[in-house]
Amino acid sequence: MPLSAVPLHAGHASGTVLHLDTPLSFWGGTDHHGTIIDAHHPQRGQSVTGRVLVMRAGRGSSSSSYVLAEQLRQQCGPAAIVLAERDAIVVLGAIVARELYGSDMPVALVTAEELAELPTGLAVTVDCSTDHGSVTLPD
């Protein structure tokens, strides 16, 4: 059953969910391999590479856009990002990656209740290729 989503950045991707307990800053919160290195983050040591990253929102700073774009260029960034709050910095990183590197990582917006339905380990598909996005869960 698909969850309705607002597409914040176009793209289509599938992957396994990494549900973050707290917001993440790509700048200083992840390394150049896509591993969460923030010493205070509950998911420290986990990799975002190829995962559908599920989090309430990003945590800034503005340099996070650059770091996310570079991770996508180096193919060590998330396959998709699903948020419960609009985040211009995350979306900007996806836009820069598309414009400079041809990478189309979808960014989708769902409700906080729907975000809670996306636990770590769940295989999902994020489709932001139309005006009405979706996050499809397994049957």
Catalytic residue among 14, 25, 47, 61: 61
**What is the full DSSP assignment across 69-97?**
HHHHHTT-S-SEEEESS--HHHHHHHHHH
Output the CA–CA distances (angstroms, integers) from residue 33 to 37, 43, 77, 93, 119, in the order listed.
10, 15, 8, 16, 23
Give phi and psi for 101, each to the nearest 5: -125, 0
Residue 47 catalytic? no
Count of Cβ atoms closer than 10 Å to residue 131 Cβ: 7
Q: Which positions are catalytic?
A: 61
